[in-house]
Amino acid sequence: MKELFRWNELADQPHNIAPRRERFRAHWRHAGSYLSLVASNLKLAWPVWRRYRRVKRGLYRQPVKISRAMGVAVSPVNNKEEEIVALLRELDVSLVLVRVPSWEVANLSYYESFIQRLSREGWFVLVALLQNRYDVLNPEKWRAFLQLALERLSPWVEHFELGHAWNRTKWGLWSFREYLKIAQPALGLASQHGVKLIGPAVIDFEFHLYPVILNQIPFDIVSSLLYVDRTGAPENAQWGWTLEKKVALLRAIIDSTRCRGKECWVTEFNWPLAGMGRHSPAPGRPCVSEEEQADFLVRYFILGLTSGAVSRVYWWQLAARGYGLVDPLVSPWQRRPSFRAFKNMVKFLEGSTFLERRFHPRAWIFHFGRGKERFAVAWTKQDSLEYDFSFPVRQVLDRDGSEVPFAGSKIILTPRPKYVFSQADPV
């Protein structure tokens, strides 16, 4: 195959240019590495399972401070920096992720200028360093990119995510051993520049890849690109595994490796939108309506952050035709329902403390406190339900911050999350 990598600008990801037959042959050549994974993971199976059961029992049972925990990714392209910065200000979000691709090393000064501005204006930036097939075949080229990126960006950035979605062949890697080869040179460079490495940036529910990586690369923070869009709602199960079960399992796996006790961040997730054609990163089943996307966004953030297993979550991304909070191809840029939902979520959850979850067979009810204020965020997965909050209700706001009429403490819950505020401080 002459062409090893080609970028899809419409969907912000590589084209899958390798024919299926060639991908099969490559996987067959790496069969030995897959077998070694099976052997090593079998040794951990029972310890992980025991930890998983303990973690799962403890989910949503302890208070969790929601502080600097909600983030959004941005792409500083097409000279739209002013629009991006204005939208970030409007969202009032403190965490921003910026991808820096190795194949754009010639434009590193542009990325540096953008990241420098974000840092100076108060945003905490996480940089994701992206690889392709040419970096695997030319290790010196990759190492030079790492050296230059850390040297230029470390004055403004504390955390660097090492690699991206490498368990998908379109991103240029064909086995976990190839990921180890591109990860290991970063260890000394990170120490040299005084920055923290996060990884391994595995995409989707492929948790079998974590132990072998985490036992060899002592990341400062463990990251996951934990998409659940193919199951629809975040409460839905994939082979019996819901989002909350997945984060519990991930926590158990991390604590069974050399990275035990380290933070876990979800650095990428979204739901692509229906009807976006070539702009969609995952056409077909994962696609949802704009209203569903907004509902699912809030529900994912709350399910993840209040679990105690995940301490940061980032949405990918701010402006994108096929899946973003904003459509940048409409003039002026069109704010979608997910933008308003994100903004309202940050307004109420930032600085709050998750207090408890009231378990109900048909509803998800999470209680928060912020200073003397007490409120709940609640929804159903489908249909509607009248739920008695058993406290005097002062105000009810919908997902986007609009007033919802109510009478007494019984509130109609729907798949669109509601914010229910207490009338008086609890005794």
Q: What is the pLDDT of residues 128-163, one digit of tens each?
A: 999 999 999 999 999 999 999 999 999 999 999 999
Strand ranges in 337-392 using DSSP code E only, listed in sequence order: 352-359, 363-370, 373-380, 385-388
CA end-to-end span of the chain, whole Å?
Answer: 70
Which helix (H) or strand (E) segment is 394 a member of? strand 393-398
CA dihedral 68, 72, 73, 74 (to 10 degrees): -110
State the DSSP code for 333: P
> Is pLDDT at 1 greater than 60 in this prediction?
no
Provide the pLDDT for residue 39.
81
Q: For the sheet containing 352-359, what is the strand order?
A: 64-66, 352-359, 363-370, 373-380, 418-422, 393-398
User: Coil, strand or helix: which one is 66?
Assistant: strand
In this prediction, residues 394-402 reach a mean pLDDT of 97
User: Coil, strand or helix: which one is 351?
Assistant: coil
CA atoms of 95 and 75, how far apart (whole Å): 14
Q: What percent of the chain has pLDDT over 70?
A: 95
Q: At what angle do helices 337-349 and 290-305 cross, to 10 degrees?
A: 30
**pLDDT digits over 7-52, tens only?**
999 999 999 877 777 666 766 666 666 677 888 899 999 999 999 9
State the DSSP code for 336: P
**pLDDT digits over 76-117, tens only?**
766 789 999 999 999 999 999 999 999 999 999 999 999 999
Provide the pLDDT for residue 194.
97
* Residues forming beta bridges with residue 374, ordered by sequence position: 369
Give Cα 148 distance to the centre of its chain.
26
**pLDDT digits over 202-217, tens only?**
999 999 999 999 999 9
Q: Are strands 13-14 and 64-66 parallel, antiparallel or unpaired?
A: unpaired
Task: Kindly list the distances between the CA atom of residue 261 and the CA atoms of 44, 220, 255, in Å, as whole numbers in the listed order.
Answer: 17, 10, 6
Provide the pLDDT for residue 2.
67
CA atoms of 126 and 119, how far apart (whole Å): 10
- Of 382, 383, 388, which Cα lies nearest the Cα of 410? 388
State the DSSP code for 205: S
> Is pLDDT at 427 greater than 50 in this prediction?
no
Provide the pLDDT for residue 34.
67
> Is pLDDT at 426 greater than 70 in this prediction?
no
CA atoms of 305 and 98, how far apart (whole Å): 21
> Is pLDDT at 313 greater than 70 in this prediction?
yes
Q: What percent of the chain has pLDDT over 90?
A: 89
- The domains located in the chain, with CATH, are 17-350 (3.20.20.80), 353-422 (2.60.40.1180)
> Is pLDDT at 277 greater than 60 in this prediction?
yes
CA atoms of 309 and 113, how far apart (whole Å): 34
**Angle at the Cα of 301 (from 102 to 166), degrees rounded to 5?**
25
R_g of the chain computed on alpha carbons = 22
In this prediction, residues 290-297 reach a mean pLDDT of 98
What is the pTM assigned to this prediction? 0.96
In this prediction, residues 249-273 reach a mean pLDDT of 98
> Is pLDDT at 316 greater than 50 in this prediction?
yes
pLDDT category at 367 given cuts 50, 70, 90 is very high
